[in-house]
């Protein structure tokens, strides 16, 4: 993995951790997801005017990924409602790192160096350590929801990894993916809302923050899709999920959640995993 790809994916991790904090900060979870979806719709439509239509064989991946990512956003908002932000986030990402690594190496034939394997394993261990902090306040419901989110992350990451390589155009693939999600996400959120009038009022009230979250989310995943076309999926996933470093700090300063020595130690361990991945190629 080149230094440019490494830095780009770490930047995506920071963006991802930040937009997750924004999603948590908006009280109505469906409102935050719907606003992010509308940003996807606008930017995706612009991108589709710039980049060519994906090949026919890519469309199944785009459609399935969009469906899974729509489910992911709904589950994510529910998970944050059930559990502590600083605990829920690393658990979902740790599950994804392990799942993507197992699938990409077992079924997709991706080859990783010993140092890369060690680095990915260390990052996963650090993520689980963060999620199981002794001072965490999450209950069983939040944990189960986080596991479900982790499974969806694994699914869409692998699907997009295959799809973007088939397309040969990462930015075009991302644009069409965002366009589809921009339709499905707001629609599903609207259907799930108990009080749709209240939801529309909430979207109006939180539009600036939701728009910012959507832009950060879109930028982060565009970088990830681009990186997946160049580097092993497991390595990209492990680096991306270090967004917990940002999430932990945000959780401490914004949501007043604990940042104990346990979490500090886990953060240092995650950094060592990043170093191993870089040294491993």
Q: Please count the structural domains in the chain.
A: 1
Percent of the chain's residues with pLDDT above 70: 90
Terminal Cα-to-Cα distance of the chain (whole angstroms): 5
Cβ(93)–Cβ(270) under 8 Å?
Answer: no
Sort 195 into a burial class: Cβ within 10 Å, 0-12 / 13-18 / 19+. exposed
pLDDT at 106 over 90: yes
Per-residue model confidence as pLDDT tens digits over 34-83? 999 999 999 999 999 999 999 999 999 999 999 999 998 778 777 766 66
Exposure string (b/e) for 44-68, b if CB count within 10 Å is 16 or more? beebbeebeebeeebeebbbebbbb
Q: Which residue has the tokens 């969009």?
A: 66
Helix 29-50, helix 170-192: angle, nearest 10: 150
Per-residue model confidence as pLDDT tens digits over 124-166? 998 888 777 555 555 677 678 878 889 999 999 999 999 999 9
Q: What pLDDT was estimated at residue 85?
A: 61
pTM metric for this prediction: 0.88
Q: Residue 54: in which H helix or E strand, if any?
A: none
Q: What pLDDT was estimated at residue 41?
A: 98
Q: What pLDDT was estimated at residue 3?
A: 86
CA 141/CA 192 separation, integer angstroms = 19
Q: What pLDDT was estimated at residue 247?
A: 66
208's CB contacts (< 8 A; 6+ apart) are: none
- The boundaries of the domain holding residue 115 are 3-279
Sort 191 into a burial class: Cβ within 10 Å, 0-12 / 13-18 / 19+. exposed
CA 277/CA 169 separation, integer angstroms = 26
Q: Which residue has the tokens 């399935």?
A: 64
Q: Which residue has the higher pLDDT, 29 or 64?
A: 64
DSSP state of 136: -
The answer for 53, left when phi > 0, alpha when psi is -120 to 50, beta otherwise, is beta
Per-residue model confidence as pLDDT tens digits over 181-190? 999 999 999 9
Identify the weakest region by mean pLDDT among 1-10, 200-209, 228-237: 1-10
Per-residue model confidence as pLDDT tens digits over 240-280? 888 776 666 776 777 676 677 877 788 788 888 888 888 87
**Does residue 132 sit in helix, strand or coil?**
coil
């Amino acid at each position: 993995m080149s230094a440019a790809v490494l830095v780009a994916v770490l930047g995506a991790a920071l963006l991802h951790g930040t937009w997750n904090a924004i999603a948590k900060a908006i009280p109505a979870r469906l409102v935050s997801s719907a606003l992010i979806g509308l940003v996807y719709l606008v930017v995706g439509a612009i991108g589709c005017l710039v980049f060519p239509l994906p090949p026919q064989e890519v469309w199944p991946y785009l459609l399935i990924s969009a469906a899974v990512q729509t489910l992911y956003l709904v589950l994510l908002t529910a998970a944050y409602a059930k559990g502590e932000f600083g605990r829920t986030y690393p658990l979902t990402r740790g599950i994804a790192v392990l799942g993507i690594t197992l699938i990409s190496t077992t079924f997709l034939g991706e080859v990783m160096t010993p140092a890369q394997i060690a680095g990915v394993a260390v990052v996963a261990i650090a993520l689980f350590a963060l999620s199981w902090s002794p001072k965490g306040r999450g209950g069983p419901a939040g944990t189960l929801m986080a596991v479900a989110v982790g499974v969806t992350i694994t699914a869409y990451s692998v699907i997009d990894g295959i799809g973007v390589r088939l397309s040969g155009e990462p930015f075009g693939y991302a644009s069409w993916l965002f366009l589809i999600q921009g339709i499905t996400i707001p629609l599903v959120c609207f259907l799930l809302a108990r009080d749709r009038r209240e939801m529309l009022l909430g979207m109006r009230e939180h539009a600036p923050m939701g728009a910012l979250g959507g832009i950060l989310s879109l930028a982060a995943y565009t970088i990830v899709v681009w990186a997946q076309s160049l580097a092993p999926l497991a390595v990209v996933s492990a680096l991306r999920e270090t967004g917990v470093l940002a999430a932990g700090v945000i959780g401490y300063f914004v949501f007043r959640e604990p940042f104990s020595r346990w979490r500090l130690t886990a953060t240092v361990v995650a950094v060592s995993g990043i170093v191993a991945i870089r040294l491993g190629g």
